Structure 1
């Protein structure tokens, strides 16, 4: 499969998982079942009163990371930060508490703002840096660079090392998928020597919460037990909990794996920002190609 198809699939994968899961965020799985049966269509609504096809912070911050890297792939942090602040000033519907505090108190040093937020809140192990890290894996073909910038974009808002590690693992899986490895093999290779290795054998014994470890465990479980892109995002949405973020993270990897052409048109066609995703996919592909020549 060609790389452009995978890049576009990844970006749409995040947005669709986000839009579908946004309907059921903060509900329990029992509440989801009682209200929707088994949700399979993007319908909007939910706690954020989303329009059909509208995305949340998961996708919008992913776009911020992508735009920052595109502005200067050799030194993306100030440009990513500028994108974060521009987005924050739009007063978005959905923004996580950790990220909100960092952006509200930022005074010129991202790492300091993340550290002080960790101290103020007592922790910073949320899933907000994992949900947006995909563009790093799509752009950087060199593993050293990929790991460096995966962790860097994470540390801008999340001081906790568990967040940085999850972003690195995630984009290493992306790297393998872009080398045409199978999804199951890519996941197994990257988690078998980590604390996530038990996911290869058992379902997560935790809630689908915004704690990065819980989120990533459910993402990995869903990916290892799904048979299509649609199956992946539907399972995430019907979990409830932090379903939009779990859907976005799992959907990104599933989209890279299957490529845009295998994502159902019934999903991709309703995403409101699809023109932006199309344009961004082309720019990311062009930058990746230029960097690998």
Structure 2
């Protein structure tokens, strides 16, 4: 066997880590922590089932949209918005099992301009509530592709604004991808988290205390739980198993946390 390329190893770790978290957490999505414990004890293997009747190893919209972002970037790295959007629409046309409300609203009313469509959905159909975690769950490929952190930030913001007009969504994506960028380029994960959340609304995560909010679809709550699992866990499996058994939006929290955990430990 030849030498393993360390960067490729991290990139593969990130993408597989996200998919593993998604598949693991897909079983328990929408259940409470107590309901999970009563039904499964603790879910620590990928078993499928759940509300989406997943096959064993099947993933959800988290992985599908992450791959759509990656394919869109590869198709047109200089100006990826339209090519990412084309991948979104191709995926949506397959009538997937799991599509978030915000994303479904934008994709079903797309008018030819992604940013206008997201703004229109925000104000006229979503009652100004588009700070979901759907752009955070898919943004990781941006940090894995671009070599300049400012470009990472710009494309990260754009891919979020394509569907989620609320600035809270873009802010969470940028913090997450800044962490990912620095981990990819050699910084230890917990150091990168500490450095990037200092002075932000997520700074309290440094204490390692459990968030005082549910791990639901609101992007701020999702991000707090992602940071909690990453900051308090010592292994990849501890991150995704913890997230998958906490309840609520388990597949997305486990996918987002699993992406960074997998990036850190490698394929």
**TM-score, L = length of structure 1:** 0.88
Q: Determine the C-alpha separation between the residues in 2 that align with 1:180 and 1:52.
A: 34
Does residue 98 (structure 1) correspond to residue 113 (structure 2)? The answer is: no
Shift of 1:169: 0.5
Deviating more after overlay: 197-206 vs 151-160: 197-206
Deviating more after overlay: 116-125 vs 236-245: 116-125
Q: Determine the C-alpha separation between the residues in 1 that align with 2:76 and 2:16.
A: 23
Shift of 1:36: 1.0
2:57 to 53, 75, 79: 53
How do 1:81-160 residues align onto structure 2 when only pairs under 5 Å count?
81-119=85-123, 120-122=125-127, 123-160=129-166
The structure whose residues are more often helix, as a share, is 1
Q: Determine the C-alpha separation between the residues in 2 that align with 1:40 and 1:127.
A: 24
How do 1:16-31 residues align onto structure 2 when only pairs under 5 Å count?
16-31=20-35
1:230 aligns to what? 237
Shift of 1:107: 1.0
Shift of 1:239: 0.7
Does residue 73 (structure 1) correspond to residue 77 (structure 2)? The answer is: yes
Shift of 1:116: 1.1
**SS of residue in 2 equivalent to 1:138:** helix
**TM-score, L = length of structure 2:** 0.96
2:182 to 160, 176, 179: 176
Shift of 1:237: 0.4
1:208 aligns to what? 215
Q: Determine the C-alpha separation between the residues in 2 that align with 1:185 and 1:147.
A: 19
Does residue 194 (structure 1) correspond to residue 197 (structure 2)? The answer is: no
Q: Determine the C-alpha separation between the residues in 2 that align with 1:2 and 1:249.
A: 21
Q: Determine the C-alpha separation between the residues in 2 that align with 1:235 and 1:194.
A: 24
5+ residue gaps, structure 1: 261-293
Q: Which runs of 4+ in 1 moved over 2 A?
A: none
Shift of 1:240: 1.2
Q: Determine the C-alpha separation between the residues in 1 that align with 2:181 and 2:52.
A: 33
Q: For this pair of structures, how many residues does the alignment match?
A: 260
Q: Determine the C-alpha separation between the residues in 2 that align with 1:84 and 1:98.
A: 13
5+ residue gaps, structure 2: none
Q: Determine the C-alpha separation between the residues in 2 that align with 1:179 and 1:131.
A: 21
